[in-house]
Amino acid sequence: MNEQKGEWFETWFDTSYYHILYQNRDFSEAERFINNLLNYLNLPTEVSCLDLACGKGRHSVFLNKKGLKVTGVDLSENSIQEAKPFENDTLSFDTHDMRKVYQKDTFDVVFNLFTSFGYFDNYDDNLKVLLSIHEMLVEEGIVVIDFMNADFVLDHLVEKEVKSLDGIDFRITRSYDGNHIFKSIDFSDNGKDCHFQERVQAIKKEEFEDLLKKAGFDIIDVFGDFSLSPFNRSESDRLIIIAKKK
């Protein structure tokens, strides 16, 4: 049995299986979302940004194509290795743990996209991540958080399903313990049984806004999908918060 060792987010995201299962979360989805975000943000030229928990860099690459100076960081060494070939004079990738400050007072915008938050056992680590984002931003810098809308996800939780991708049948089971949404992923590959589990805190809008305020941010806007429609608790699939460093 191939199982997770250490923290679930250190191992699962570093496997090729994560990228097979989430292959629909691709560069074209990222491109559409970034286009909408950049139209909304209307940033000046010469902007420097951090894609925090960038994965293989699908958003970083497009932010850079749109003229931004981009640093993408992620805990997964394999993902960063896959992102590295895209590097150029204004795009770089590095392995880094988001609970720590990467570079102080450096970035005009920090992006934390596609539910890259709420992973840690210690709830205080959520605030630690936001405080470190605060420290990495310049005065009046902007943070963009794209998280799940926990209310919507819980209302639509599919308890069991099988996804067949690239010859692998991923058997998925979802549950909720009052704090976390669990997703168990079981499959066999080449005769080997594998088990992984995702565990994400079901942080709701008000709780997220409180955390951001505690970390020294003003909330500017809250959207509910990648087209940046207004947030609606029962209908939006995403919780996209734009906040500014005080």
Ligand X SMILES: C[S@@+](CC[C@H](N)C(=O)[O-])C[C@H]1O[C@@H](n2cnc3c(N)ncnc32)[C@H](O)[C@@H]1O
Nearer to ligand X, 183 or 188 (CB): 183
Nearer to ligand X, 58 or 245 (CB): 58
Q: Which residues, other chains included, contact 149 with Cβ-Cβ below 8 Å and sequence gap of 6+?
A: 205, 224, 231, 233, 236, 237, 238, 239
- Burial letters 193-228, b for 16+ CB under 10 A, else e: ebebebbbbbbebeebbebbeebbbeeeebbbbbeb
CA 16 to chain centroid, in Å, comes to 17
Q: Distance between CA atoms of 74 and 62, rounded to whole angstroms?
A: 17
Which residues here bind ligand X, judged by CB under 6 A?
9, 13, 25, 53-55, 58-59, 74-76, 79, 97-99, 113-116, 119
Nearer to ligand X, 94 or 140 (CB): 94
Residue 13 beta carbon to ligand X: minimum distance, rounded to whole angstroms = 3
Residue 52 beta carbon to ligand X: minimum distance, rounded to whole angstroms = 7
Residue 126 beta carbon to ligand X: minimum distance, rounded to whole angstroms = 11
Nearer to ligand X, 24 or 45 (CB): 24
Nearest residue to ligand X, using CB? Answer: 55
Q: Directed axis angle between helix 124-136 and helix 205-214, to 10°?
A: 50
Residue 191 beta carbon to ligand X: minimum distance, rounded to whole angstroms = 27
Residue 60 beta carbon to ligand X: minimum distance, rounded to whole angstroms = 9
Q: Which residues, other chains included, contact 225 with Cβ-Cβ below 8 Å and sequence gap of 6+?
A: 236, 237, 238, 240
Give the helix ranges, DSSP H, for the chain.
8-11, 16-21, 27-41, 58-65, 77-83, 124-136, 150-155, 205-214
Residue 195 beta carbon to ligand X: minimum distance, rounded to whole angstroms = 19
Nearer to ligand X, 218 or 237 (CB): 237
Residue 144 beta carbon to ligand X: minimum distance, rounded to whole angstroms = 11
DSSP code at position 44: P
Nearer to ligand X, 74 or 225 (CB): 74
Nearer to ligand X, 128 or 204 (CB): 128
Q: Label residue 244 exposed, middle or buried (CB < 10 Å: 0-12, 13-18, 19+).
A: middle
Q: Are 43 and 65 in contact, with CB atoms under 8 Å apart?
A: no
